[in-house]
Amino acid sequence: MLRVQNLSKSFDGTVALDGFSAEVREREVVGLVGPNGAGKTTLFNVVTGFLRPDGGDVTYKGEGLTSKPPYRVARRGVARTFQELRLIYRMTVLENVLLAFPAQAGESATGAFVRWREVSRRQRRNREEALALLDYVGLAEKAGELADELSYGQQKLVSLACCLATGGELLLLDEPVAGVAPGMVDKILGLITDLRGRGKTVVFIEHNFAAVTEVCDRVIFMDEGRLVAEGTPADIRDNPDVIESYLN
């Protein structure tokens, strides 16, 4: 589904990605692990078009995504969350999710005037879908609250609901459970597992190896911008290179 080949990226001499290649298959839940500075977030940023790679290719469903602007990548069906959680904090939870729906007729300036009937029908349908998504992530009763007023864990759930609303099939989640209360961790991990049933493919960055073991089909371990090992969670846990990498 997603294939990255030979990606390289450096910032002022610091190598973040060094010939990184990997593949993600449909309906997989893949954990991307590695020490700080291993290049995990850089990889997400390159795949989603927020950073231009110095070299290499990104292919999604057979189409090249390399250096496409972020909005095009998102429209192709690659949704993402951010490590430093991003939401529109001064909008309600519902509005955040509504914002995420793709190709809304009412988003053209003329859409605000002509085809009003179609636009409002579409808005009603989006609203229903948004409420259903919020219900799915367990935030139905928070729909009318400002995103700012939610707990950190709840905000992470909102950003997940936004990803789902984009209709993207590949979700790149950057540390979805970091800094979240323990009860919420289980809830978010439960959702990630469940997403596969909804036809989604998930790649997520995580430091907590227990969380990764719990939900991942496959783990990709990277360090210094390179793929060090990949395999089942158990394989990775016992891999000598991985152990050494973490010990260093």
Partner 1 sequence: MGYLLHILILIGIYVILAESLNLIAGYAGLLSIAHAAFYGVGAYVAALLALNYAVPPWLTVPAAVVAAAAVGALVAWPALRVRDDYFVVATFAFQVIVFSVMNNWVALTGGPLGLPGIPRPDFFGLTVKSHGGFLLLTWLFAAAVAFVCWRLARAPFGRVLRALREDEVFAAALGKNVASFKVRVFAIGAAMAAVGGCLYAYYITFIDPTSFTVMESIFIISIVIVGGAGSLRGAALGAAVLVILPEALRFVGLPSSVAANLRQIFYGLMLILFMVFRPQGLIGEFSFRRR
Kindly state the smallest distance separating residue 229's Cβ from partner 1, in Å.
29
CA 42 to CA 107: how far, in whole Å? 31
How near is the Cβ of 122 to partner 1 at its closest, in Å? 9
**Exposed e or buried b for every residue in 174-194, given b needs 16+ CB within 10 A?**
bbbbbebeeebbebbbebbee
Residue numbers of the site for partner 1 (CB under 8 A)? 48, 50, 69-71, 74-75, 79-80, 82, 86-91, 95, 98-100, 102, 104-109, 111-113, 119, 123, 162, 166
What is the b/e burial string over 220-245, where b = at least 16 CB atoms within 10 angstroms of the residue's CB? bbbbebbbbbbeebeebeebeebeeb
In the complex with partner 1, the residue whose CB is nearer, 40 or 227, is 40
- Closest to partner 1 by CB, 158 vs 228, is 158
CB of 210 to partner 1, least distance (A): 28
Which residue, 159 or 201, is less far from partner 1 as judged by CB?
A: 159
145 token code pair? 């609250």
For residues 154 and 245, which CB has a smaller minimum distance to partner 1 in the complex? 154
Q: How far is CA 198 from CA 4, 170, 178, in A?
A: 24, 11, 24
Task: Name the minimum Å distance from CB 160 to partner 1.
Answer: 13
